Structure 1
Amino acid sequence: MAEQRAAFLQLWIDGQPVTDARSRVSRLEVDERTDDASSFHLSLDMAPTDSGDWDALADGRFALLKRVTISFGLGAPDSEAPDVQDVVFDGYITAVEPYFGPSRVPDSSLEVYGLDASCLMHLEERTRSFSGLSDAGIVRQLYGEYGFAVDVQDTAPVRDPARAVVLQRGTDASLIRWLARRNGYEAFVERKQGPVAAGANAAPECVGHFHLPRPDGPKQPDLSLIPRSTPSVIELKARWESHRPTELHGEHIDERTRRIRSSTVTAPRFPRMGTTGRADILKARMAAVLPKRPQTKAVGLQYVDVPHDVPEVENLAWSDYREADWLAEANGTVQGLRYERILRARRPVGLVGAGKLMDGTWYVRGARHRWVWAEALARYEVDVDLARDALNGVA
């Protein structure tokens, strides 16, 4: 466990550093999600000027659709620069909310909200069709229209233009999320690490992702519940339950052959994060709790979406299975000043101190960074949303 350090904040507006960020920002939250656009909420102290205006409100830097880039860092308390630093957000201001408090000063503020660069894909609703492409091919085309680099995992099938098209009725962002759900993928836009270039266009520095979750990727340093006096995890609440499917059946009629196409999914498409999944727990108990039907399984049926080809039957079943297969879910708060790095969403992380059932690898589905300036000190905490598809024994 790293010793407690100081928190650093750096902001850029349209690629230009905000040199007075520490004196003006009272609170900043950045919410990184796997299932939605990342967002930020910035609170700026606001005071009247001699000209009768309000300083933060009149500051042209905080106008709609200004590009905002946010970096958090950690370093020694007496250092002028962080030892570790991560850019966690690159996007645009989408809402501005001035608040005039009862006393005017010091309880007035300018509340600024924004979404990551994928919000540019959510401005225009369009009607158009795609044929002769796989879902991944459609996503590559959409990301390319905005100038994003791509990290896109292939999908099957490539649809026959003579019998199947994808029809878009909505924004490009909505279409990408629909295609991700059909394939059990994650879809998000994330900034690359590296210098922040000047200018309002964030796309060249961002990557559009469309792929399976990656709980088997490079693991972040362990979160720790111990020692109790100085843990990196302040609090953690976990939950797992019995009544979710452990097996998904998809059955659909092929409109060409009139035959039933079926698929059964019983395992994830990535390595499990423990030895005992929900299916193992139920199997161990069925003979005792249901002796007349000891082979009973928790089966779910996929029937909402309609496939156009045989591989899609399996993909649709997998998509429903992926979400149901998360066995344990946890929410907690990390003391960021005691953690080795800037904790990020969409990546695995280790956990120690929770006992033999829960210690090990978890997937970070969400991370909400909270930076608060109070009494000449910066507090930095991260609210985490964790999940794993197996425990280390029967619970």
Structure 2
Amino acid sequence: MAFGVAIVADGARADDLMDLALVEVHEQVGQPTTYYLRYAVHNVDGDLAPLKEPRLGPGADLAVFQRAPGFYECLVRGPVFSHQIHLTHGVEGSTLEVVGADSSIKMDREVKLTQWADNTADSDAVSMIAANYGLAPFVESTNTRHMESRRTLIQHDTDLNFVRMLARRNGYHFWVRCDDLLIDSAYFKPPVLDDPNAPLLRINIDEPNMDSFDITWDVERPTSVVASSWDGAAKQVIDGSGVPPPSTFSGDVPLTSIASETRSTSVLAAVSDAGDLMGRASGVLMESSWFVQASCKVSAQRLGRIIRTHSVVNVDSVGTRYSGSYYVAGVRHVIHESDHEMYLTLVRNGWKS
């Protein structure tokens, strides 16, 4: 049985589905969270179980919880969309891997052509889309409003791709998460750069909670934006220059001070006003600003907590330049018989002087 894992099927605890050889949950910024549940295949009454188990079939609603002592967290909830089956002669050693994703995958099934109502903000559209899927919206407001007299907001894509596009052009992230009461929520907000309760990852000191820490950086990326558009009504250029660099973690030196030579990109878009254009330019800079990337493996038991994407961790004793806060861009949870391991992808848009 996988360490501490509890499976909830169609809203009910399913003890008979918890005999798992391995569980993986993959979280990544900008992608639905996916899960992989590995079962041993057995010969039962002349058939192979659990290959036809309806609670593991197409569209089945599963939730994966970590409920080891000291933990109570829903890692993911959503529909099954695939089986990966490995059969060996004699059945012994055969496996079934059940693959599913969080409920945002339902938002990616149908392309829609929609002209949103007059005076709609990007955040208004996201809130309405989230509500249509029964998601509790935690949506941070955006400034630009789309007016019929200038440029309306047009959707010609799936709801998921449309919402992700709105997130990128505002410098936001969008993700869906389920809580321990099986309530799915949709989040639409900029990256969090401050958390007083962030976990501390330690190495090279007494009582470390990780054994290695890998760091790469690459400064060849845009640090400024040339942004312009055309106002057809006023017959003049809309200027989106002067966009400030993205905020960094407290005390960090930003990329603009580390790589001070000009590195620019352009944003040419049909927009409503200068505020809309500058918002898109800010989103481009935010996305390109994460020039430091780090990776490590951490045990949930050793750390005493579970780390999720879209959160902050603090790292100690990796040198004065690289110690400090990082944004969690990815977590691969690997849960086997004796432990819950977390393979972290961390990013940062500055470093200490």
Match of 1:19 among 12, 15, 18: 15
Tell me, yes or no, if structure 1 residue 316 matches structure 2 residue 277: no
Aligned to 1:69: 63
**1:368–1:69 Cα change, 3 Å:** same
Aligned positions of 1:114-133 closer than 5 A:
114-132=100-118, 133=120
Aligned to 2:336: 372
The CA deviation at 1:7 is 4.0
Aligned positions of 1:352-391 closer than 5 A:
352-373=316-337, 378-391=338-351
Tell me, yes or no, if structure 1 residue 301 matches structure 2 residue 301: no
The CA deviation at 1:208 is 0.9
Q: Which amino acid aligns with 2:94?
A: S
Contact 2:151–2:271 (CA<8 Å) still a contact in 1?
Answer: no
Contact 2:248–2:349 (CA<8 Å) still a contact in 1?
Answer: no
The CA deviation at 1:175 is 1.0
The 3-state SS of whatever aligns with 1:178 is helix
Q: Which amino acid aligns with 1:321?
A: L
Aligned to 1:33: 28
How far apart, CA to CA, are the structure 1 residues paired with 2:53 and 2:32?
Answer: 27
Aligned to 1:246: 223
Aligned to 1:153: 140
How far apart, CA to CA, are the structure 2 residues paired with 1:9 and 1:258?
Answer: 62
Contact 2:55–2:61 (CA<8 Å) still a contact in 1?
Answer: no
The CA deviation at 1:102 is 4.2
The CA deviation at 1:99 is 2.0
Could you report, residue by residue, the CA deviation over 1:297-349 in whole angstroms, capped at 9, with x for unpaired residues? 3233223x432322111011001100111131112221232112011111001
How far apart, CA to CA, are the structure 2 residues paired with 1:213 and 1:364?
Answer: 10
How far apart, CA to CA, are the structure 1 residues paired with 2:350 and 2:192?
Answer: 15
Match of 2:307 among 339, 343, 368: 343
Tell me, yes or no, if structure 1 residue 212 matches structure 2 residue 182: no
TM-score (norm 1): 0.83
Aligned positions of 1:169-248 closer than 5 A:
169-192=156-179, 194-196=180-182, 205-227=183-205, 231-248=208-225
How far apart, CA to CA, are the structure 1 residues paired with 2:226 and 2:70?
Answer: 50
Aligned to 1:290: none
Aligned positions of 1:278-289 closer than 5 A:
278-283=255-260
TM-score (norm 2): 0.93
Q: Which amino acid aligns with 2:60?
A: K
Identity over the aligned pairs, expressed in percent?
A: 23
**1:128–1:348 Cα change, 3 Å:** same
Match of 1:275 among 215, 239, 252: 252
Q: Which amino acid aligns with 2:343?
A: D
Aligned to 1:3: none
The CA deviation at 1:360 is 1.1
Aligned residues: 350
How far apart, CA to CA, are the structure 2 residues paired with 1:183 and 1:27?
Answer: 38
How far apart, CA to CA, are the structure 2 residues paired with 1:218 and 1:39?
Answer: 29
The CA deviation at 1:388 is 1.1
Q: Which amino acid aligns with 2:236?
A: R
Q: Which amino acid aligns with 1:325?
A: S
RMSD (CA atoms): 1.9
The 3-state SS of whatever aligns with 1:233 is coil
How far apart, CA to CA, are the structure 2 residues paired with 1:265 and 1:120?
Answer: 36
How far apart, CA to CA, are the structure 2 residues paired with 1:56 and 1:232?
Answer: 38
